[in-house]
Structure 1
Amino acid sequence: MTQRIDDGPVTPRAGFFQRPNLGKAVLVIAAYLVFYLLVGQAVGALFGDRINKDDVLATGASVFFAFILPIGIGGLALFGFTASVGWLREVFGRQTVGGRPWMWIGPGLALTAIVAHAASTDWKSWRPEQIALMAVFGLCVGFTEELATRGLAVRMLRGADHSERFVMVVSSVLFSLMHVINLLSGMQASTVLVTVVYTFGFGVCMYLTMRVTGTLWAAILLHALTDPTTVLASGGVDKSVTQHSGGWSLVTAAATILMVVFAVVAVFLVRDDRRTTAQI
């Protein structure tokens, strides 16, 4: 008789991950990053002539092959892995750990930054196809990175019976460390360091978004809106919107800084107890 786990039969891989721990969570994130980098190399080798090295956002084909295709394939691979270990219902279904009123600050700060980015964007300088493709890119990034960290990593850390404080901090650290690979694309070390610090704060806000709304999809949506609005507001990839003048840019800078500060405070506020319904 075949034993079943959640939505599917047990496979050797599923059995291995049904005994989760921190090391296996790190393994999944590391394996995803290696896979993503290899896919990027393959796409570059096959379609490198379609990518504008001087201005990646210059053409639709350049955006698609440089950004959308690699992260899209990575997301499909993570979705397939989630299905293979029988965790689709747990990861994408209703959260079993509830939230508290103060946690709404997390999604509030993220939404404030999104609105400020949109308001400070010079929309006339972007073609409709560029805006549409950046929206698709945002959906791919939001789905893939949230599935990896707030989905799989959180599921595995909770499965290892770690406290919610540990789950929040470690999943956010893993999310921030994922961005260290930007060094391989030539980004300056100082910029990568700032990115790592910011993404830790953003990761905590997304974890709290998931808890207080009760669903991973809310974090995916906010994340999907964050990346494209940031790029469109700044005028390019890996550029800081806070370098530009204007009231909305100041709002963006304030929200970004507050995310990091709030993340540190949240470490001390988050409760370790598990609840079955959200307390909001």
Structure 2
Amino acid sequence: MTSLRPNGAAPCPKKNPPSLQRRLTWPWFLVVTVAYLAIIQGAGILVGVDTSGAKGDFPTTEAVLRDGLIPVALSVLFGAAVVTRLGWWSDVLHYRAPVRRWVWCVPISMLAAALLAVNYGNLAAQPLSLVLSLLAMTLLVGIGEELMFRGIGVQVFKKAGLGEGKVALWSSLIFGAAHLSNALSDGGQAIGQAVIVSTSGFFLYLCLRAGGTILLPMLVHGLWDFGLLSSMAGTDPEGYPGIAVPILLQVVLIVLLVVRRRSITPAPPHHAAAPGAPLPEPAPER
């Protein structure tokens, strides 16, 4: 039977004591990231199918399974094994950093943009197995990449003593740089993709802060990718203007966060001030 605290509330999940947690420095995190990417790219080469003659990136269910779902599933297992080895599950699943309420506009707007970006007409013309496989693949991408970068990556820099601003910066830059591995299939386009993904990484970090759990950025990330890839499914995919919504939203969020970057973290608690005394300013992100 679960014991209760004196006030009757159920106890919070126990956090692994430091003695049971292993340390991971940022150079070793880079090694882990390279291994993670090698699993995805290597598995894609070993079991993937050639879709170079197709109009879409995912023309068939087999292409989704072998080019995407299987490699990504293996990367998720790798990420979960790393977190287990480090003993970081409590820290990874529950992120404790206060944030102002307005930051909730980031995950809410990203979820809305993801749903608007879905090419429902194109998906309706595809076999159900292809649509479900694509959805499963993108959700696993959200789980795997968030576990690696907003989970392990964020904790690496946070445990190193960096402030939240630098934690967000470095974890997002590595997240973007990791997508340079797509140059194996996309060529020079991977450079522009890495830059864009770095900004997305910062938005997903704010989703982590707002929700207090990595499950929220996992969901946002997975649905965001599903919306973007929904126009690439099938042997004869159809264009869709809704794909511009996520692009426009990123521009809006960049401007918003540049303007309000110093008001992400709430002001620290303070004792009652004398009448007429100014209130303390919120602590800026470092």
Mark the CA change 1:106 to 1:123 in structure 2 (over 3 Å): closer, same or farther.
same
Q: TM-score, normalised by structure 1?
A: 0.78
The answer to which of 108-117 and 127-136 deviates more is 108-117
1:226 and 2:224 correspond: yes
Distance 2:19 2:39 in 1: 25
Q: What residue is the counterpart of 1:278 in the other structure? A: none
Q: Distance in 1 between matches of 2:263 and 2:45?
A: 42
Partner of 2:80: 79
Q: Residue 140 of structure 1 aligns with which residue? A: 140
Residue-by-residue CA offset, 1:44-74 (whole Å, 9 max, x unaligned): 4xxx4xx544335222222101100001001
The equivalent residue for 2:16 is: 6
Query: 1:60 and 1:27, CA in 2 relative to 1: closer, same or farther beyond 3 A?
Result: same
Give CA deviations for 1:105-147 in whole Å, capped at 9, x if unaligned: 3213312320221266533322211110011101210110000
Q: Deviation per CA, 1:156-186, whole angstroms, max 9, x where unpaired?
A: 111101010000111111111111111111x
Q: Which residue of 1 aligns with 2:247?
A: 253
**Any gaps of 5 or more consecutive residues in structure 2?**
1-14, 270-286
Residue pairs, 1:48-127, within 5 angstroms: 48=49, 52-55=51-54, 56-92=57-93, 94-118=94-118, 121-127=121-127
1:101 offset after TM fit, Å?
A: 1.6
Give the Å deviation of 1:245: 6.3
The change in CA–CA distance for 1:27 and 1:250 in structure 2 (over 3 A counts) is: closer
Work out whether residues 104 and 212 of structure 1, in 8 Å CA contact, stay in contact via their aligned partners in 2: yes
Partner of 1:30: 34
Whole-Å Cα distance in 1 between the matches of residues 170 and 268 of structure 2? 17
Q: Larger % of helix: which?
A: 1
Change (3 A) 1:184 1:80: same
Counterpart CA distance in 1 for 2:41 and 2:266 is 35
SS of equivalent to 2:58: coil
Question: Max radius of gyration: which structure?
Answer: 2
Correspondence 1:235 to 2:267: no
Q: What count of residue pairs does the alignment treat as equivalent?
A: 250
Q: For residues 202-228 of structure 1, give each alpha carbon's deviation from its aligned partner in whole angstroms, at most 9, with x where no partner exists.
A: 111111111111100011011111112
What is the TM-score of this pair, normalised by structure 2?
Answer: 0.76
Distance 1:226 1:218 in 2: 12
For the pair 1:194 / 2:181, whether they are aligned, the reply is no
Partner of 2:204: 206
Identity of aligned residues (%): 22
CA RMSD across the alignment: 2.9
- Given that 2:99 and 2:265 are in contact with CA atoms closer than 8 Å, whether structure 1 keeps it comes out as no
Distance across 2 between alignment mates of 1:30 and 1:274: 39
Between the aligned partners of 2:17 and 2:202, the Cα distance in structure 1 is 29
CA offset at residue 274 of structure 1? 9.4
